[in-house]
Structure 1
Amino acid sequence: MAINHTLAPGFLVASPKLDGSVFDRAVIIMVHHDREGAMGFILNKPIDVDFGTLLEMVDVSENQIADSCYQQDVFFGGPVRVEQLWVIHNSPDHIFADSDDEVLFHPQWHLSSDAGSIKFLAKKAEHKFRPLMGYAGWGPGQLEDEIGEGSWLVLDFDEKFIDTSVDEMWDFALTKLGIDETTFLMMGKAGQA
């Protein structure tokens, strides 16, 4: 399947074909997509640690961590480089202008893996952000093939997804696509032997 435009920024919504996989009911925010491949982060799979505790584990001192970080979930971003911490945030771009690890993937949204940027966000915690471990990646043409096989549905960027409850995100995505969840799930089961 040839896609003539980039899917980033945007979202991928897992179809029932991916049930039982690491992408089961996943909603992925796409931050990069071109002929060389694609990169995104699962937004709706929290892991069993909060952001503040995770930062303490990597030797960030407690006085550098805002109290609200201890109520902030960390999410499984995908199966690639699961040891790497990334943060999607909406901090003003001038704050991190000198960081080589800062990527602007939407006019108001950034991706960072830079330790200084992450520490700044942890101390201030005044902007919207989502910490993630790992990412989802595709080689040249791989994502297009998976979309063509019916594994993924594509949605335009809508920042409401970043704030949507993880328990409701997949259902919300289907509603935005105009798809009835029960019918969608039944179609997926019918295609499995």
Structure 2
Amino acid sequence: MTGALSHTGRLLVATPVLTDPNFARAVVLLLDHDAQGALGVVLNRPTPVEVERVLDGWAALAGRPSVVFQGGPVGLDSALAVAVVPGEPGQAEPLGWRRVHGAIGLVDLEAPPEVLAGELGGLRVFAGYAGWSPGQLEAEIAEGAWYVVDCEPGDVFDPQPERLWRAVLRRQRGPLALLATYPDDPTLN
């Protein structure tokens, strides 16, 4: 991005003022952020659909819960898979996996699962994604809709995704940590 900071590999954490039902209390992993726009997946929206029902062979590699997550409001009929491959950037990458940031990358779901079985430290499958046109995400951040924070590989595979919004905020320094206690409905306070 010319003159701007790319947030690829970081998390977008919805601020309490973001009430759009697609993103209220959402934690989004940014898979791509450049001058062309941004693309990410919502990490904390599990569906009741089990991975084994939609992707033959991948369920054994999926983290718990082994369900498909709603990655965002766009392209709900398509699947993306995010996985962690331990090791440092620069090492040979396994076939069927493309590094996004650090140990986090995208999996080619057309590849045979057994090719990646011994390489992955975790896998999460998403139906759909969240997307922003050029400048749109930057405007939303400036308006106070999102906090941008560092991602830890465990965030992608949190076994209790419904608690992820609070957990990510709680580990931040300063005032952001206090927001982890923000009530679901402040009018009931």
| TM-score range normalised by the length of the shorter chain | 0.7 to 0.9
TM-score (norm 2): 0.78
Give yes or no for contact 1:85–1:113 (8 Å, CA) kept in 2.
no
Structure (1/2) with the larger helix percentage: 1
Alignment partners' CA distance in 2, 1:68 and 1:35:
34
1:52 aligns with 2:52: yes
Q: Does 1:181 align with 2:184?
A: no
Counterpart CA distance in 2 for 1:182 and 1:114 is 35
Q: Please list every run of at least 4 consecutive aligned residues from structure 1 whose deviation after the TM superposition is greater than 6 angstroms.
A: 121-125
User: TM-score w.r.t. structure 1 length?
Assistant: 0.77
Contact 1:10 1:156 in 2 (8 A): yes
**CA shift at 1:14, angstroms?**
0.7
SS in 2 for 1:115: coil
The answer as to whether partners of 2:77 and 2:127 remain within 8 angstroms in 1 is yes
- Give the C-alpha shift of residue 9 in structure 1: 0.9
Query: Equivalent residue of 1:171, what SS?
Result: helix
Q: Which residue of 2 aligns with 1:9?
A: 9
1:142 paired residue among 136, 139, 150: 136
Paired letter, 2:104 = W
Residue type of the alignment partner of 1:167: E
- What's 1:132 paired with? 126
CA contact (8 A) 1:81 1:135 kept: yes
Q: Deviations over 1:11-64 (max 9, x none)?
A: 000112222511111100111111110111000000111111122xxxx4xxx4
1:92-130 CA deviation, whole Å, 9 max, x = no partner?
A: 76322xx5xx5311131211344115x447966963010
**2:71 counterpart letter in structure 1:** G
- RMSD value over aligned CA atoms? 3.1
Instruction: Indicate the residue corresponding to 1:94 in structure 2.
Output: 93
CA distance 1:183–1:169, change in 2 (3 Å): closer
Question: Is the alpha carbon distance of 1:182 and 1:94 closer, same or farther for their aligned partners in structure 2, counting shifts above 3 Å?
Answer: closer
Task: List aligned pairs for 1:31-180, cutoff 5 A.
Answer: 31-55=31-55, 60=56, 64=57, 67=60, 72-91=66-85, 94-96=93-95, 102-116=97-111, 119-120=113-114, 127-164=121-158, 165-177=160-172, 178=174, 179=176, 180=178
Listed as ranges, the gaps of 5+ residues in structure 1 are: none
SS class of match (2:29): strand
1:167 shift after superposition: 1.9
Greater CA deviation, 127-136 or 15-24? 15-24
Identity %: 29
Q: CA deviation at 1:74?
A: 1.0
**Structure 2 residue runs without a partner (length 5+):** 87-91
